[in-house]
Amino acid sequence: MSDPLPFKGRSVSVTAVLLQDADTAQIDVALSEKIAQVPPDFFTTQPLVVDVSALEGFKPDTKWLKTLKRIFERHKLGLVGVCGAPVERSALVAAGLAEVRTSAEAKKVEKSEEPAPPSPPPPPPAPKLAPTRVIRHNIRSGQRVIAANSDLIIVGTVSPGAEIYADGNITVHGILRGRAFAGGQHNFAAHIYCHELDAELVSIAGFYQDKEQLQANPVRKNVFISLNPDESMQIVSV
């Protein structure tokens, strides 16, 4: 069954009376003068609202609103509401008036009621690492060492053609000449440290530099490699 009495929003035109003074006696006099300037019953059928935006700091209360409405009624004017400042709902109800929003105020309300954009998802937490894997010998060419879900420490030299992998950090107490892959599982906070750098490739969380790029960096001794916030690689001596 269709709604026999639907309520729907409509934009309607009303005449606003811009108040320059909150004194109701002054308003009464000003209305008399304004009405005298127009043909009889000119405003009688027009809905009117009072705009108090020019009355800085003024907060209409119940007594003032009731007095204002009686003044308008005495002049046969249809005062229907107030705009330009927040008014207590109880005061409006007691005076039989409505709070009317200008188009600018309505846009502000609509904007404030718009849902906030969703927060970006938090970065994935760094994986919890198992105890550090420690290798106490050189890693020869063709060998591959993997430290799954842990840090890796090599006490020795990593030869050309050798590969070392760790989900966490890699520390080489010797010369790193092979390939080193730290920060598996997207661990962007991982780092690589070696006593001497002459590597074929170093990689952290998938971001890497090959031998040609590494040779362009003068840092060779006590090398610390990490990722900058922009995911570029930082290579410094410590």
Confirm if 69 and 36 have CB atoms less than 8 A apart: no
pLDDT at 202 over 90: yes
Whole-Å CA distances, 218 to 29, 88, 196, 203, 235 = 88, 72, 12, 18, 10
User: Which whole number is the average pLDDT over 115-124?
Assistant: 67
Considering only residues 216 and 109, tell me which one the structure prediction assigns the higher pLDDT.
216
3-state secondary structure of 32: helix
pLDDT at 92 over 90: no
Neighbours of 150 (CB within 10 A): 19
Nearest-10 Cα torsion for 65, 71, 74, 79: -50
Q: Tell me how far apart the alpha carbons of residues 235 and 218 are, in angstroms, rounded to a whole number.
A: 10
- Start-to-end CA distance of the chain, whole Å, equals 80
- pTM (predicted TM-score): 0.48
CATH number of 15-113: 3.30.2270.10, 1.10.1040.10, 3.90.1330.10, 3.30.70.260? 3.30.70.260
CATH 2.160.20.70 fits 130-237, yes or no: yes
Q: Tell me how far apart the alpha carbons of residues 172 and 191 are, in angstroms, rounded to a whole number.
A: 11
Stretch (H or E) spanning 16: strand 15-18
Considering only residues 122 and 77, tell me which one the structure prediction assigns the higher pLDDT.
77
- Give residue limits of the domains in the chain: 15-113, 130-237
Whole-Å CA distances, 221 to 173, 202, 235 = 11, 15, 11
Q: Which of 174, 169, 170 is nearest to 155 (CA)?
A: 174
Considering only residues 84 and 190, tell me which one the structure prediction assigns the higher pLDDT.
190
Considering only residues 7 and 191, tell me which one the structure prediction assigns the higher pLDDT.
191
Q: Tell me how far apart the alpha carbons of residues 78 and 91 are, in angstroms, rounded to a whole number.
A: 18
